[in-house]
Amino acid sequence: MSGEVQAAAVLGGFQESEQLDDSGPRGGRERRQRIGLGDWLLPVYTVLAFVFLLIPIVYTFVFSFNDSIKSNIAWRGFTLDKWLNVCNVEGGAVCEAFANSIVIGLAATVFATVLGTAIAIALVRYRFRARSSISLLLFLPMATPEVVLGAGLAAQFLAVGVPKDMTTIILAHTMFCISFVVVTVKARVASLDPALEEAGRDLYGSPSQVFWRITFPLLLPGIMAAALLSFALSFDDFIITNFNSGSVSTFPKYIYISASRGIPAEANVIASAVFIFALVLVIIAQVSRVARNKRLAKLS
């Protein structure tokens, strides 16, 4: 699923350039063509497409400043109040849901990243039987609709008699994040130059020294990208959470439940803050990646 992997790479901006940019030969010489329809049509379309993609985000952001009373539908004037007192609404229900989402996201990210990275290393580095069934087992969750994953886990928790709470959400999120971690980290392991580890062994490094001093630092960008992707997937998940959360609220679940009676502007505040935080993080990573590529190009 290169879509997600690509998203992870963009999210992280950590993946090395040779992975993203190892494109084949490109037409080096630009042809002189007459100015055709496509020369301005496509850029104009692209701008309009981005406007379309970003409209709901702008809407959510603008309405986080709305001086709304209960439901946040009609514009009633500008206020900073919602940003300054996010947790004051409904006894802090929004903030509690948000905090739950953060805790679940962090826990699922840690578990999925550790388990998934180990699998990725084993899949690339070792030959063993049952390899194709293991690959299928890891691929299938990504090709399964979330509602089936959610209902399946809920049916199992019901059959075993496990009450649904925060733990069941974390267990569910870890499951669907593992596959994405494996895909992301596997690409990184495959691109690793084995000569570097051999050099470490030649210099009498013990296996654990070689791993922690050479392999792990080289894998780190891929692992970071995988962790960020896991967190993003977990944080925004609603469908699987809805089936396995019982009475525990998460940020997306809070929105789903309050949708019938109107979302308070405080939810827009939290969503906008998360958006800005993520955007700044990604832009910094991307700009530094482009700058590094430029530096490398100059060196060679």
Least distance CB 7 / other proteins (angstroms): 5
Say how far apart CA 272 and CA 100 lie, in whole Å. Answer: 18
Residues of span 250-269 touching other proteins by CB under 8 A: 251-252, 255-256, 259-260, 263, 267-268
Question: Helix (H, G, I), strand (E, B), or coil: what is residue 26?
Answer: coil
Least distance CB 192 / other proteins (angstroms): 8
Question: Considering beta carbons, is residue 103 or 282 the nearer one to other proteins?
Answer: 282
Using CB under 8 A, count the residues that bind other proteins: 110
Check: CB of residue 180 under 8 Å from CB of residue 113. no
Regarding 40 and contact with other proteins (CB under 8 A), the answer is no
The single residue among 86, 95, 108, 123 that binds other proteins, judged by CB under 8 A, is 123
Q: In three state form, how does the secondary structure of 258-288 look?
A: HCCCCCCHHHHHHHHHHHHHHHHHHHHHHHH
Say how far apart CA 100 and CA 105 lie, in whole Å. Answer: 8
SS3 content of the chain, % helix, strand, coil (to 5): 75, 0, 25
Regarding 200 and contact with other proteins (CB under 8 A), the answer is no
Regarding 137 and contact with other proteins (CB under 8 A), the answer is yes
Instruction: Give the H or E element holding residue 212.
Output: none
Regarding 5 and contact with other proteins (CB under 8 A), the answer is yes
Least distance CB 217 / other proteins (angstroms): 18
Say how far apart CA 112 and CA 108 lie, in whole Å. Answer: 6
Residues of span 47-106 touching other proteins by CB under 8 A: 49-50, 52-57, 59-60, 63, 73
Least distance CB 263 / other proteins (angstroms): 6
The single residue among 97, 107, 108, 121 that binds other proteins, judged by CB under 8 A, is 121
